[in-house]
Amino acid sequence: MKLQPYFGKTAQFPLASTIAVKKGDVVALTVPSWAPALALGFGKDTSWRASRPKGQCTTTSTQTTQMQLGINAQYYCLYQTARLSYSATLVSTP
């Protein structure tokens, strides 16, 4: 999906099929390349993590997305002064 028309805006993209989510579950975003989902300019008390191998946190040109279900990954890399800016909307009655 081309995202450029949505830069700087809030957009909603419905999923092709629903995801069953229970209280306490974590909903995450994985993209095969790049998505404009990072907000910059925050203090050091704001951070996010990436699933890069230990010791490779500065190698940001290599993609480390989780694309297979059931595969665990370690989120070793902590990036401060930025946060991911996506959300999920609960629709209890479709």
17, 23, 30, 42, 67 from 72: Cα distances, Å: 23, 21, 14, 29, 11
Quick check: 7 pLDDT over 90? no
* Rounded Cα gap, residues 56 and 58, in angstroms: 6
Place of tokens 């995202």: 3
Q: Chain-wide mean pLDDT for the chain?
A: 81
Tokens found for residue 71: 């595969």
pLDDT at 61 (0 to 100): 77
Query: Can you give the pTM of this predicted structure?
Result: 0.62
Structure tokens at 51: 């699933």
Question: Is it the case that residue 93 has pLDDT exceeding 80?
Answer: no
* pLDDT recorded at residue 36: 74
| Cα dist from 28 to 33, 49, 55, whole Å | 15, 11, 23
For 54-66, the pLDDT digits (tens) are: 888 888 777 777 7
pLDDT at 44: 93
Could you tell me if residue 67 is left (phi over 0), alpha (psi between -120 and 50 degrees) or otherwise beta?
alpha
The whole-number pLDDT of residue 41 equals 92
